[in-house]
A and B are shown apart, each in its own frame.
Chain A
Amino acid sequence: MKFFRRQRFESEMDAEMRFHIDAFVEDLVRSGVERGEAERRARVEFGAIEAKKDECRQAWGLQWMDELRADLVFTLRTLRGAPGFAAVAILSLALGIGANTALFGVLDALLLRMLPVRDPGQLVFVQTAGTRGMNGGPPYPCFEILRDKAKSFAGMAAFSASSMEIRLNGVREQVRGLWASGNFYELLGVRPVIGRTLAASDDQTVGKGGPDGPVAVISRSYWEQRFGGDPAVIGRAVPMGEQTVTIVGVMPNEAMSVDPGRRFDMAAPMMLSDPVVLRQRGAWWLDIVARLRPGVRQEQAAAEANGLFQGFMGDSADSAEMRKLHFDHIELTAAGKGTDGLRTRFTTPLTALMVLAGLALVAACANVASLLLARASARQKEFAVRLAIGAARGRLVRQALTESLVLAGAGAGLGIGIAVAAQNALAGFFATGGDGIKIDLPLNVRLLFFTVAISAFTGLAFGLAPALRAANVNPAAGFQGGSRSVAGSRRGLRLGRVLVVLQVALSMMLLCGAGLFVRSLRQLAAVDRGFTREATLTMEVSPEGRMYGTPEWLRQQTEILERVRRMPGVKSAGWATMGPLSGRDRGVLIDIAGSAPRSITDRSIHLVSVSPEYFDAMGMKVLVGRGFSQRDNATSAKVAILNETAARFYFGSANPVGAKLRITIPRGSEYEIAGVIKDVKHSSLREEPGRFLYVPIPQSVDRINRVALAVRTAGDAGRLAAPIAREIRGMPGALLITNVATMEELAQRSMSRERLVAALSTVFGLLALVLAATGLYGILAYGVARRTNEIGIRMALGASTRGVTWMVLREALLLAGAGIAVGIPAVVAIGSFSRAMLYGVSAFDGAAFACAAVVLTVSAALAAVTPARRASRLDPMTALRTN
């Protein structure tokens, strides 16, 4: 557009001037001048046509464009003349910019981005809160009251994530499901990909839905994976639990729920979920999202909702103590970015990584600045010539800045490529190494804006000082002889040294950070998990609904164990209602017979129901008393086992074996303590162990449905996954197998944040190290070249080769030492900032610091090798002849 306008300007100007000359020629010819002579005179009297055109362009305000073009052309020509410099500079910048762009993309996707729904700013979560913090939405009957009576909201919808079981072509399958009130998608204002979305009318009658009967929508990715993207999926009937739902629509993946990063396959109306739970006034399983009516303040809405909530809680069965802890009142929180699960987990590590990436970019800038500086010194003569023949200093600065910005621009272009690759790797990490977190990383406008902004910033950051320096050349001095006498070059060297010290300091920070995080990860990996490190496989097995809690299901569990144990490679196998690091949890309240009454918090304990062989299969050690045996069955005396933490908490140093405890909630049942078992890391490897109570499966207070199989194997546990699953599927009753994983995989997943931080901080540390080493090499090589003469004199006067080598080496070590010294206070700051992310290492870990310092010193020495050798091999005669 702009370009065409420019072309038109040029052609019109040309036409106008040609017309002028032709008209003049015609007039002259008419007055009797011979044509050839007339043409000559016309040209002379018009004056230099190109110069006039230039003046016209200037008058028209186009000159800056031409100058810019000239600057660009000149820059490209000079960069082509120094390909090594250009490559190193662009690559440094590309790595810095790429790393920052990639990380910012992830940060944006996980922490900053608003939900892809209509007016996300108006959305709030309605949550109950107590002294223990937020606790999700109120029970369904309360939701109905709020939805129908609260006037502060334009709409209110409930949702709850839950795995759902469906049958496709007769095969049982577990899907990631969402129960959603019928108005959920309407409230969010999201549109289906095909078909229709859920409607309020689909959510009217318990167990039936609405006029179209039970319906459901599926996500786009599930549609593509499971139905090959066939539009005929609309109207298809799919058995789900006890009912059959009709698929009425396909939804965009990211609009399935308001849970960023979490994937859902299917969503169905609330009325199709468990009718008992729906009616319960004490079932806390919902999340509630609402849209504020325009003009209503959040506090106002919260007050109204709270009034209704307190009315509902008037006849609550929960104790006053429980209510105070969890369900005291209603609070509204902004829902525009969705639920905060991911934000809570990743805010600290991603912020820390962003800081580290920023430091790496600063290191890249310092590196390019020192390269530019060295070049500026080498180009002093060129600048002096240009000044002497009348170039304005401002133009020289602009030329130099153009060069910086071209470098930054090229770095940004390449950096975006690097960022895309890095983002794919990061997305892959989150999808597999993490917990199946799905992050969408499109190259959006915000991201590109970020890239452009940091590139422009870097361009100015590294370009300004060398540019100003270049323009400061004294033309007279610039002409005199060789590099040694060039004015300002001593100052140039000093600034160069400062930059190198800065780079070393940044490397020190980044390497120390990497050291701390890597050591944290190793500590965490080596932590006592409480279960065996030998190869162990787990998978969850669930029977059909009608088998839940039946003796038949218990018998089948025993049969499965017998079959699995007979398989080659299996050492032992057992069942538990939930395994370590599975992400599952179950809490009950207990009383210890003969002890003083305790608070609810102190009475709560995690409950795991296990088969007798489970402790052996998981390698969990019985410390006191005995484990379970086949004789602990449905009819024998009930026995329980505590973990260390629970035993210490309830009995102190006394032996708890033989003492009686009573589970009071969910229902009363008395047990005799048979033993104490070693603590196991259950929810994560980092956690301090909680209180755990183990009971035999046949004696559990829980109805046994899904159970986790633990199999200890000889050799690779993963290899046995398929044969064992086949064996179990071959049994009668259409058993559903889910969450197959080795314990090692679960442990790795539990360390996903730590692995991410350790890996990326190492990358940044190495990047900074390489940059610092090249910077150091550059300044040393430049120093040697500049001092060729001096070194020649020293050698002529008898300085030894070793002395000269040492001279160069000493400078390298001094610079590195200064950088390390400068870096240490910054490292201390980083350490205290990242303390929350460390595990088992102090923020001031001497080993990490010493390691970083040694690595830097060795790198400095290596960077000095070539310049030192070059210096020591100088021939004094040649050296003295160079100026």
Chain B
Amino acid sequence: MNSQVELVQGTLDMLILKAVSLGGLHGYGVLVRLEQLTGGKLQIQQGSLYPALYRLERQGLITSEWGESENKRKAKFYSLSAAGRRKLKMETESWKRFSAVVADVLGAVPEES
């Protein structure tokens, strides 16, 4: 009955990069966009977003800047760096290959002899 999906280990970073790649967002914005993109099917503990954001910024994949939010409050906005763009492209391709292989394997039907 539960339509929510558990996050596969290590995929949160990829999803954040994707979300940020669609335009600069603050942390809460990343969360909202991820919910929109997944149709609320992905379960993310809100607080866990931040260690991931900090790690990505430390790795130089995203950059941050303080700016003003929709409701005129100071907020920290994240955007994708050139390195982040390359990383996202690479990860997307390898994810596609990986999921295709897994889908093939899981979709195989027993051969009748």
Residue among B28, B31, B48, B69 facing the most chain A CB atoms (10 A cut-off): B28
- Say how far B71's CB is from chain A's closest CB, in angstroms: 7
Residues A853-872 near B (CB distance < 8 A): none
How many A-B contacts if CB must be within 8 Å? 66
Within A40-78, the residues touching B (CB, 8 Å) are: 45-49, 51-52, 55-56, 58-61
Q: Is B51 a contact of A55 with CB atoms below 8 Å?
A: yes
Report the minimum CB–CB distance from B27 to chain A (whole Å): 5
Q: Across the interface, do A20 and B45 meet the contact criterion of CB distance under 8 Å?
A: no
Complex Cα spacing A49 to B47, Å: 7
Query: Which of these, B32, B50, B74, contacts A15 with CB under 8 Å?
Result: B74
Q: CB-defined interface of B41-67 with A at 8 Å, one 1/0 digit per residue?
A: 000011110111011001000000010
Contact of B55 among A17, A20, A22, A59 (CB under 8 A): A59
Q: Mark A1-22, 1 if CB is under 8 A from B, else 0.
A: 0000000000011011101101
CA distance in complex: A464, B76 (Å) = 45
The reply on B75 being an interface residue by CB < 8 A is: yes
Per-residue CB proximity of A202-234 to B under 8 Å, as 1/0?
Answer: 000000000000000000000000000000000
Q: How far is the CA of A46 from the CA of B32 in the complex (A)?
A: 13
Let me know if A26 is at the binding interface, CB within 8 A: yes
Given A52-B51, A56-B51, A59-B58, also A24-B28 (CB < 8 A) = yes
Number of interface residues of A (CB under 8 A): 25
Contact B45 A45 (CB under 8 A): yes
Give the distance in Å from the alpha carbon of A352 to the alpha carbon of B66 in the complex. Answer: 64
Partner among B27, B45, B58, B75 whose Cβ is within 8 Å of the Cβ of A47: B45
- Is A20's CB under 8 angstroms from B58's CB? no
A82 CA to B67 CA, complexed, in Å: 52
| In the complex, A23 has a CB within 8 A of chain B | yes
- A185→B76 CA distance, assembly (Å): 63
Question: What residues of chain B lie closer than 8 Å to A52, measured between beta carbons?
Answer: 47-48, 50-51
Which residue of chain B has its CB nearest to the CB of A12?
A: B76
Q: How far is the CA of A348 from the CA of B74 in the complex (A)?
A: 70
| Complex-state Cα separation, A241 to B8, whole angstroms | 99
**Cβ of B26 and Cβ of A61 under 8 Å apart?**
no
Minimum Cβ distance to chain A for residue B103 (Å): 32
Within the complex, the shortest CB–CB distance from B54 to chain A, in Å, comes to: 4
Residues on the A chain within 8 Å of B55, using CB: 59
User: Are the C-beta atoms of B69 and A23 separated by less than 8 Å?
Assistant: yes
Min CB–CB distance B46 → chain A (angstroms): 5
Instruction: Determine whether the beta carbon of A48 is less than 8 Å from that of B47.
Output: yes
B48 contacts A58, CB within 8 Å?
A: no
Across the interface, A17 reaches (CB within 8 A) one of B45, B50, B74, namely: B50
Contact A20–B27 (Cβ < 8 Å): yes
Within B71-93, the residues touching A (CB, 8 Å) are: 71, 73-76
User: Are A26 and B51 in touch, CB under 8 angstroms?
Assistant: no
Nearest CB on A from B35, distance (A) = 11
**Chain A residue, CB-CB nearest to B44:** A45
Query: How many whole Å from A49's CB to the nearest CB in chain B?
Result: 7
Q: Is the CB of A45 within 8 A of B46?
A: yes
Does B74 lie within 8 Å of A19, measured CB to CB?
Answer: yes
Q: Is A19 a contact of B47 with CB atoms below 8 Å?
A: no
Closest Cβ of chain A to B16, distance in Å, is 13
- Distance, CA A339 to CA B31, complexed state (A): 76
Taken together as a complex, chains A and B put the C-alpha atoms of A59 and B66 apart, in Å, by: 20
**A60-B54, A61-B58 as given contacts; A47 in contact with B73, CB under 8 Å:** no
B54 near A56: Cβ-Cβ < 8 Å? yes
Given A16-B27, A19-B26, A59-B47 contact (CB < 8 Å)? no
Contacts of A55 in B (CB 8 A): 48, 50-51
A591 CA to B47 CA, complexed, in Å = 106
Taken together as a complex, chains A and B put the C-alpha atoms of A293 and B31 apart, in Å, by 72
Residues of chain A with a CB closer than 8 A to B52's CB: 59
CA distance A24 to B26 in the complex (A): 12
CA distance A24 to B75 in the complex (A): 14
Our pick among A12, A17, A23, A60 for the contact of B58 (Cβ within 8 Å) is A60
The answer on a CB contact under 8 Å between B50 and A19 is: no
Query: Closest Cβ of chain A: how far from B50's Cβ, in Å?
Result: 5
Q: How far is the CA of A61 from the CA of B76 in the complex (A)?
A: 20
B73 touches A59 (CB 8 A): no
Given contacts A45-B45, A47-B46, A59-B58, contact A19 B75 (CB under 8 A): yes
- Residue contact A19 to B48, C-beta cutoff 8 Å: no
Q: By the criterion CB–CB under 8 Å, are A47 and B48 in contact?
A: yes
Q: Which residues of the partner chain A approach B58 to less than 8 Å between Cβ atoms?
A: 59-61
Residues on B with C-beta less than 8 A from A15 are: 74, 76
Distance, CA A23 to CA B54, complexed state (A)? 20
A59 contacts which chain B residues (CB < 8 A)? 51-52, 54-55, 58
Q: Whole-angstrom distance from the CB of B32 to the nearest CB of chain A?
A: 8
Closest to A27 in B: B32
Q: Min CB distance, B105 to chain A, in Å? A: 34
List residues of chain B with CB within 8 A of the CB of A60.
54, 58
Q: What distance in Å separates the Cβ of B11 from its nearest Cβ neighbour in chain A?
A: 17
**Closest chain B CB from A697 CB (angstroms):** 90
A48 to B46, CA, bound (A): 10
Chain B hits for A26, CB < 8 A: 71
The docked-state distance in angstroms from the alpha carbon of A24 to that of B74 is 15
Q: Complex: how many Å from CA A51 to CA B51?
A: 10
Q: How far is the CA of A296 from the CA of B27 in the complex (A)?
A: 67
Instruction: Find out whether the CB atom of B46 lies under 8 angstroms from the CB atom of A19.
Output: no
In the complex, what distance in Å separates the CA atom of A49 from the CA atom of B76?
A: 18
> In the assembled complex, which residues on chain B have CB atoms less than 8 Å from the CB atom of A47?
45-48
Are A16 and B50 neighbours in the complex by a CB distance under 8 Å?
Answer: yes
Chain B residue nearest to A19 (CB atoms) is B75
Give the distance in Å from the alpha carbon of A738 to the alpha carbon of B43 in the complex. 97
Residues on B with C-beta less than 8 A from A46 are: 45-47
Complex CA gap A26/B54 in Å reads 25
Contacts of B32 in A (CB 8 A): 27
Question: How far, in whole Å, are A51 and B45 apart by their CA atoms in the complex?
Answer: 13
Q: 1/0 contact trace for B16-50 toward A, CB 8 Å? A: 00000000001110011000000000000111101
A12 CA to B69 CA in the complex, in Å?
15
> Which residues of chain B are near A56, meaning CB under 8 Å?
50-51, 54
Question: Could you say which residues of chain A place their CB within 8 Å of the CB of B54?
Answer: 56, 59-60
Closest CB-CB distance, A281 to chain B, in whole Å?
77
> Which chain B residues border A13 with CB–CB below 8 Å?
50
Q: How far is the CA of A718 from the CA of B69 in the complex (A)?
A: 90
Q: Tell me the smallest distance from the CB of A519 to a CB of chain B, in Å.
A: 67
Q: Which residue of B lies closest to A48 (CB)?
A: B47
Neighbouring A residues of B45 by C-beta, 8 Å? 45-47
A368 CB, nearest partner CB in chain B, Å: 39
With the chains together, A49 CA to B31 CA distance in Å? Answer: 16
Q: How far is the CB of B37 from chain A (nearest CB, A)?
A: 17
A20 to B78, CA, bound (A): 14
Query: Are the CB atoms of B75 and A16 closer together than 8 Å?
Result: yes
Residues in A neighbouring B75, C-beta threshold 8 A: 16, 19
B87 to chain A, nearest CB (A): 16
CB of B17, distance to nearest CB on chain A (Å): 15
Whether B51 lies near A24 (C-beta < 8 A) is no
**CB-CB nearest in chain B for A16:** B76
Given contacts A12-B76, A60-B58, contact A19 B69 (CB under 8 A): yes
- Among residues of B, the one whose C-beta sits closest to the C-beta of A55 is B51
Report the bound CA distance from A27 to B69 in whole Å.
Answer: 14
Chain B residues with Cβ under 8 A from A27's Cβ? 32
* Cα distance, A26 to B31, chains bound together (Å): 15
The answer to whether B69 touches A24 (Cβ under 8 A) is no
A781 to nearest B CB, angstroms? Answer: 51
Other-chain contact of B28, A19, A48, A58, A61 (Cβ < 8 Å) = A19
- CA–CA, A46 and B51, complex, Å: 12
Q: Lowest 3 CB-CB distances: which A-B pairs, in order?
A: A47-B47, A55-B51, A52-B47
Known contacts A17-B47, A46-B45, then 19 further A-B pairs from the complex at CB < 8 Å, ordered by chain A residue: A12-B76, A13-B50, A16-B76, A17-B50, A19-B69, A19-B74, A19-B75, A20-B31, A23-B28, A26-B71, A27-B32, A49-B47, A52-B47, A52-B48, A55-B48, A55-B51, A56-B54, A59-B51, A59-B58
A sample of 15 cross-chain residue pairs with beta-carbon separation below 8 angstroms, ordered by A number, consists of A12-B76, A16-B26, A16-B50, A16-B76, A19-B74, A24-B28, A45-B45, A47-B45, A47-B47, A56-B54, A58-B51, A59-B51, A59-B55, A60-B58, A61-B58
